[in-house]
Amino acid sequence: MAPTKLLLGLLVVLLASARAASVSLPALPLSTSSRWVVGADGRRVKLACANWASHLEPVAAEGLSRRGVGDIAARVAEMGFNCVRLTWPTYLATNATLSSLPLRWSLERLGLRESAAGVRVNNPGLLDLPLIDVFREVVSALANNSIMVILDNQITTPGWCCSRTDGNTFFGDKYFDPEEWLKGLSAMATMFRNTKNVVGMSLRNELRGPYQNVSLWYRYMQQGAEAVHAANPNVLVILSGLDFDNTLSFLSPNKVELSFTGKLVFEQHWYGFSDGTDWENWNQNDACGVSVQSIRTKGLFLLQQGWPLFFSEIGFDMSGTHTADNRYLTCFLSVAAEMDLDWAVWALQGSYYIREGILAFDETYGLLSWDWSTARNPSFIKRVNSLQSPFQGPGLPNSQKPYNAIFHLLTGLCVLVKSGNSLKLGPCDESSAWNYTSTSELVLKHTGQCIEAKSVGNTAKLGACFSKSCSKWQLISNSSMHVSTELTKNGTRVCLDAGPDGAITTNQCKCLSQDPSCNPESQWFKVILSSRSIPAEASVLQLPSLGVWPAASSSPL
């Protein structure tokens, strides 16, 4: 090896270990505190996960033929996720013939010789391990990268999930024997009893189909939760709703009754295709407004009732060319920001060994590219970065005194004040601390200054709130994401708008008519609560102007 190469290699190793050292698992085990998932130290732990499929016919985590398992796990952490929802079929836990099958044979019996050759190159140590040990190694590789794992019972029989006719739909269906399912849950919970990074179990994915029955849901889900808890009291038990986990509305009147507390979480799924053709055919403000209302009655209400709700599958075509998916995604992000959701993207895998009979099936929803070498959509990773860590919840620096951040959906950035009192987008960790007051003013805390609209097309500025001239801001349109005011001068309505350079201006409001082709996203903001620390600059920056306005009357605190 040439010396420069050696040096480079050393640098890479050093950087890698620095990165590994900088992230660590939260204080485990996890539990729940009202709607929050918290660590053993009582601090909020926000689940920001990627789904990693391991339930298809080969019964092995996808991608082992493409990359080293450690590389894949490191990639999950690099993309900012702290958790993986790892799927498994019941048979992996209940069929010893299957679970003891070496990975090589499992691939070869399906004719997947190239995949087996790929595993030999990229994961030689896994090739001749029994499938159950391969599964454990994946969990271990994730642990080595401080990634939490939620074990998701996706299906009974290995294969792509989920349809109305696959025999895996609901208790009592052809392949869905409740007794076998309970046995599988117990076995899996027991197997990982001493594996710290396994923090939760999704009891069954996407219940659905003609056998659905609410009273059976209560009977079996309660039994499943008790079985898991008896075998492993450390894991969160996560319960899926009905109709492909699109609805939990039946929980509104009837609670789940369990012998234990502090471990119960519900999960909900939301994809663009669940809303039919609304996303393409409707005005974007209307489509998002209606869809969020429906998500609220189907599941979000649980948060208000003090239950944790995990959006365990959200997903979209990562190519960026699918209009409906793009619109759905922005709308999902608005809910994720507003409610500070725990969430999991479908999916990590860029491709499958085989899916629905197609070799090397391309996962267009995959975080990784088809060959697992790069991020399929790097801008998505940037956009969701601020939604991967908590804004709210126990243990944050300003939990007792949250402020408002003004979150811009399109960029994932927040509104902050820059020199000259103009406004721009920046990282949410550097967000200015705003207060959206009961009198509809957007006040910069501790300064008594507020956001003012001067004219159409100009930058929005920070001005003196104390006078009558302070702009009153309403959240308008059916999405409620336009931050809008009327110019004091002549009553023209304007909306906050972010330019490509991040400058915040006040422009004519977009897409308030029913036009379905119009894109309002540069003007979509959510005024959210944040308990993150307020960077010194955010409050100090404005101090010079304090001289102009008497501190006593301008500072609300």
- What is the contact surface with ligand NAG in residues (CB under 6 A)? 69-70, 95, 97-98, 137, 140-141, 144, 213, 215-216, 286, 289-290, 402-404, 435, 437, 455-456, 478, 487, 489-490, 492, 556
Which residue lies nearer to ligand NAG by CB, 289 or 426?
A: 289
Minimum distance, C-beta of residue 3 to ligand NAG, in the bound complex (Å): 28
Least distance from ligand NAG to the Cβ atom of residue 97, Å = 4
Q: How far is the CB of 215 from ligand NAG (least distance, A)?
A: 5
Q: Are strands 358-359 and 403-408 parallel, antiparallel or unpaired?
A: unpaired
- 8 A C-beta contact, residue 198 and residue 192: yes
CB nearer to ligand NAG: give 186 or 312.
186
Instruction: For 217, list phi and psi in degrees, rounded to 5.
Output: -55, -50
Nearer to ligand NAG, 304 or 455 (CB): 455
> Distance (Å, rounded) from C-alpha 7 to C-alpha 12?
9
| Residue number with CB closer to ligand NAG (215 or 259) | 215
CB of 113 to ligand NAG, least distance (A): 18
User: In the block, which residue shows the tokens 């209009």?
Assistant: 323
Q: Are strands 458-459 and 504-508 parallel, antiparallel or unpaired?
A: antiparallel
Which CB atom, from 53 or from 453, has the smaller least distance to ligand NAG?
453
Q: Read off the tokens for 265.
A: 């979480």
Please report how close the Cβ of residue 49 comes to ligand NAG at its closest, in angstroms.
19
Least Å from the CB of residue 233 to ligand NAG:
25
What are the distances in angstroms from CA 107 to CA 70, 130, 134? 21, 12, 13
> Min. distance of Cβ 263 from ligand NAG in angstroms?
26
For residue 17, give the H/E element and its range: helix 3-22
172 vs 427, beta carbon nearer ligand NAG: 172
In this structure, what is the dihedral angle of CA atoms 475, 409, 307, 304, given to the nearest 10 degrees? 0
Q: How far is the CB of 313 from ligand NAG (least distance, A)?
A: 26
In DSSP notation, 448-471 reads TEEEE--STTEEPEEEETTSTTPP
Q: Which is nearer to ligand NAG, 152 or 278 (CB)?
A: 278
Residue 472's region, left for phi above 0, alpha for psi from -120 to 50, else beta, is: beta
Return left, alpha or beta for 180; rule: phi > 0 is left, psi -120 to 50 is alpha, else beta.
alpha
Output the six-digit token pair for 187: 């076995």
Q: Taking each helix axis as running N to C, give the angle between helix 3-22 and helix 69-78, from 0 to 180 degrees, rounded to the nearest 10.
A: 60
Q: How far is the CB of 321 from ligand NAG (least distance, A)?
A: 26
Of 97 and 321, nearer to ligand NAG (C-beta) is 97
Nearer to ligand NAG, 137 or 152 (CB): 137
Least spacing, CB of residue 306 vs ligand NAG, in Å? 21
| Nearest approach, Cβ of residue 406 and ligand NAG (Å) | 12
The pair of structure tokens assigned to 51 is 């789904």
Range 41-44, long-range pairs (CB < 8 A, 24+ positions): 41/395, 42/394, 42/395, 43/393, 43/394, 43/395, 43/396, 44/390, 44/392, 44/393, 44/394, 44/395, 44/396
**Dihedral angle computed from the Cα positions of residues 275, 278, 283 and 289, in that order, rounded to the nearest 10 degrees:** -30
In terms of CB distance, is 236 or 423 closer to ligand NAG?
A: 423
Residue 129 or 359: the one with the smaller Cβ distance to ligand NAG is 129
The single residue listed with the structure tokens 């918290």 is 38
Q: Which residue has the tokens 């074990």?
A: 151
| Residue whose CB is nearest to ligand NAG in the complex, by number | 455
